[in-house]
Amino acid sequence: MTIPDMTSPDTAIRMTVVAVGPGDPDLLTIKGRQALEQADVVVGFQTVLDVVAGKTGAADIRPMAYRDQEAVLDFAQEQAQQGKSCVVCVWGDLNVSAKELLNRVRRRADTVELISGVSSIQIACSRAGISLEESVFITLHQRWDRGSELGELVELLNQGRRNVILLPRPYDFMPPAIAANAIADGAAPGQPVTVFQRLTLPDEQRWDGTLAQCAALPDEFSDLSIMVFPKPPEPDDA
């Protein structure tokens, strides 16, 4: 008797994740664009789908929100099971602060093709004139232990050996609150900080100042905000 191989190419569920970039539709990769053009079903949060509007061929487009993401991903899984080509879109790059969504897709598919994109942190590095290898990246998304996150930030700032690139948590822990808490935890009030908002979008903004100045700003930042804390210049940087 032949035992069927449940992961044979005929039965395996395949899904594709396309990282759409930081907002400017021109930063979608060619490979991502091809996957979208060939897709039967495309799902993603509405703001992410907006980036790829008009690039999805004849696909059935299903926007999702936090409250119904499991149901929309289940629908995509069912379609993939029937042999349809399903694409899940994620913001920026898929290896940057997108773990939860990636895991939700991985739980539903035997094979997940990952098509990388341009991350907002790469754009922040370009705008700030810093390199990733001299930086540490911290995301406050999906972490709820405020103390340990800020402890790590303050420790890195006080060491002064690396730039710190930090993603705030919309909207409960945004730049002014982060700055105030970092000072309370021992960071220098004069520490320089830059906040970028809506990078690569037509209304992109940049604010430069110190931690103390940032702490005093009105809490009116976009959910698309990134903080960059540059390390002190070294003598041979000049």
Ligand X SMILES: C[S@@+](CC[C@H](N)C(=O)[O-])C[C@H]1O[C@@H](n2cnc3c(N)ncnc32)[C@H](O)[C@@H]1O
Interacting residue with ligand X among 199, 211, 214, 228 (CB under 6 A): 199
Q: How far is CA 158 from CA 81, 125, 166, 182, in A?
A: 52, 21, 15, 11
Of 141-170, binders to ligand X (CB under 6 A) are 141, 167-168, 170
Interacting residue with ligand X among 87, 156, 191, 196 (CB under 6 A): 196
Q: Take residue 224 and report the two structure tokens written for it.
A: 């698309």
> By CB under 6 A, is residue 120 in contact with ligand X?
yes
Interacting residue with ligand X among 22, 32, 175, 176 (CB under 6 A): 22
SS3 152: helix
| Nearest distance, CB of residue 96 and ligand X, angstroms | 3
> By CB under 6 A, is residue 119 in contact with ligand X?
yes
> By CB under 6 A, is residue 194 in contact with ligand X?
no
Of the listed pieces 48-56, 71-79, 102-110, 195-203, which binds ligand X according to CB under 6 A? 195-203
4 Ramachandran zone, left/alpha/beta (phi>0; psi -120 to 50) = beta
The vertex-86 CA angle with 21 and 104, nearest 5°, equals 75
Of the listed pieces 37-45, 67-75, 157-165, 192-200, which binds ligand X according to CB under 6 A? 192-200
Interacting residue with ligand X among 44, 93, 135, 179 (CB under 6 A): 93
The vertex-192 CA angle with 187 and 196, nearest 5°, equals 115
Of 57-86, binders to ligand X (CB under 6 A) are none
> By CB under 6 A, is residue 92 in contact with ligand X?
yes
- Other Cβ atoms closer than 10 A to 123: 21
Residue type, 73: L
End-to-end Cα spacing for the chain: 74
Strands 225-229, 205-210: parallel, antiparallel or unpaired by DSSP? unpaired
| Nearest distance, CB of residue 114 and ligand X, angstroms | 12
> By CB under 6 A, is residue 97 in contact with ligand X?
yes
Interacting residue with ligand X among 28, 88, 91, 150 (CB under 6 A): 91
SS3 138: strand
Q: Which residues bind ligand X (CB under 6 A)?
A: 22-23, 91-93, 96-98, 119-120, 141, 167-168, 170, 196-200, 223-226
